[in-house]
Copies of this chain bind each other. A is one copy, B any other.
Amino acid sequence: MFEVNPFDIDIGQYKVMLHQSDARQLGINFGDRVRVRTKGAAVTAILDVTSQMVEQGHIGIFNEAMKELKGAKTVDIMPAPKPASVAYIKKLMDNQKLTEDQIRAIVRDIVDNNLSEVELSAYLTASYIYNMDAQQTEWLTRAMIETGDRIYFDTHPVVDKHSIGGVPGNKVTMLVVPIVAAAGLLIPKTSSRAITGAGGTADLMEILAPVEFTADEIKELTETVGGVIAWGGATNIAPADDKLIKAEYALSIDPYSQMLASIMAKKGAVGAEAVVVDMPTGPGTKLATAEEARKLAKDLMDLGERLGIRVECAMTFGGSPVGRTVGPAVEIKEALAMLETGTGPNSLREKSLALAGILLEMGGMAVRGDGGRMAEEILTSGRAHKKLMEIIEAQGGDPNVKSSDIQIGEFRQDILSPATGYVVAFYNKRIIEIARLAGAPADKKAGVIIHKKMGEMVKKGEPLLTICSSSDWELECATKECALMDSGRQMPIVVEGMLLERYPRYTQI
């Protein structure tokens, strides 16, 4: 019988702490499982061992386990076996193949928070080092679908879009969804918020309407207006992914099979039958070469076939931002303006129409080769704009919003070209850094407007960029980051003929 010390901390797991003498007495150690029982309640928890935090005869119990034990004052404990999935993770570490049941057990335990951080990290590290084969990746994807909410549509076809990411300003979803929905296809799009970027589609859409919906609400919205742009993180769709992303981020890894499974699980769970995958390719993106992009395309299409989902992939140019804006408000303003007028930056217009066109063809709305033209017609006719306004209204936003209503940061700074010439280098990552320093994505009004892109001519003293922010000191931070001749820093934009370094060094904008 142990006296309970409640630890008022959400630790993300069923976790308890014993004095090391008591653990020794019970023959158990750090990371072992214990069955903790009280009258009418019990929980299996991960053990931590301490010499100071709890006295002998006491047990520290964190919030999650405490809830299951209904505030018990005393508990019995006994050693319990580790989840079977821990042994399967060991098999992965030994590069052995897992069965479907074993993969499902791992995913189930990830979703149920039954694995410790040490175990979860070992799973990801082994997954990173040893890719799964196609059969195992299929099982992994199915397990990720089955362990979360699913949407089954009565109307068809259901299409979806995914971007591999890695290119700034990629607001194409804001155009693709209304175009294909206006054509009569269903597109229940879940998007992410930015983690390391300047703004995810969910961050953008949130300026226009709420984005947090359950799977059931997404189904209803999609059936009502044809499309939705929701934040995936608010749903319980493929929830294993959210847990994995946390640890992947901490390790800066993106295990390949796990990435394939995570993409396709989210599509499979919402009932998508046809999916287009945008693959920004080029130096500075996630897909440095066309070869890598082709391999990924093949693997995604193979996985789709195994799951009964048609997949087409579009390799797009990722070396330069899409459109001329980076940051939630400036991006949504640009996207809205294009829907209102049918015109705007070519890089945004062409890419959006191409991706929408592929979906129109896959969904049977256009004959092969005619999708792009149809998408253009839907955009220029204003039908896409009308559809987005319907979607905004359905999601609870203002259907009369105009691009001119969108507020951007009141503190602004132009970055002027120090020379006359062509833009000969343009570094995406630096643009994202500058937008983040200005406050994006948390400050939705922060961002970068790009006046000159790769290959364009600029005169000395003309603006290359405009940075905007809601905060004067964040604007200053971001502006400093653009300083020429700042030692060790890569200029975001290089103009031919521009002085790259000068001695002695001094700072000049």
Contacts and interface: CB of A to CB of B under 8 A. Distances in A.
B119 A122 contact: no
Interface string A93-124: 10100000000000000000000111111101
A30 interface: yes
Interface in A123-140: 124-126, 128-130
Interface in A43-71: 50, 52-53, 60
A442 B25 contact: yes
Contacts of A250: 30-31, 116, 118-119
A118 B119 contact: no
B10 A53 contact: yes
A93 to B, nearest CB: 6
Q: How many copies does the complex hold?
A: 2
A414 to B, nearest CB: 24
Given A129-B93, A250-B30, A24 B121 contact: no
B118 A251 contact: yes
A30 B125 contact: no
A121 B60 CA distance: 24
A53 B119 CA distance: 24
A251 B27 contact: no
B436 A27 contact: yes
Contacts of A130: 129
A419 to B, nearest CB: 32
Interface string A1-34: 0000001011000000000010011110111000
Contacts of A50: 10
Interface string A431-455: 0000010000111000000000000
Chain A to chain B: the 4 pairs with minimum beta-carbon distance, closest first? A31-B250, A121-B121, A125-B125, A118-B121
Given A29-B195, A31-B247, A122-B251, 11 more contacts: A21-B442, A25-B443, A89-B251, A93-B125, A93-B128, A116-B250, A118-B120, A119-B251, A122-B122, A125-B125, A129-B130
21 contacts: A9-B53, A10-B53, A21-B442, A24-B441, A24-B442, A26-B442, A27-B436, A29-B246, A86-B252, A90-B253, A93-B125, A93-B253, A116-B117, A118-B247, A118-B250, A119-B250, A121-B121, A121-B122, A122-B251, A125-B129, A126-B129
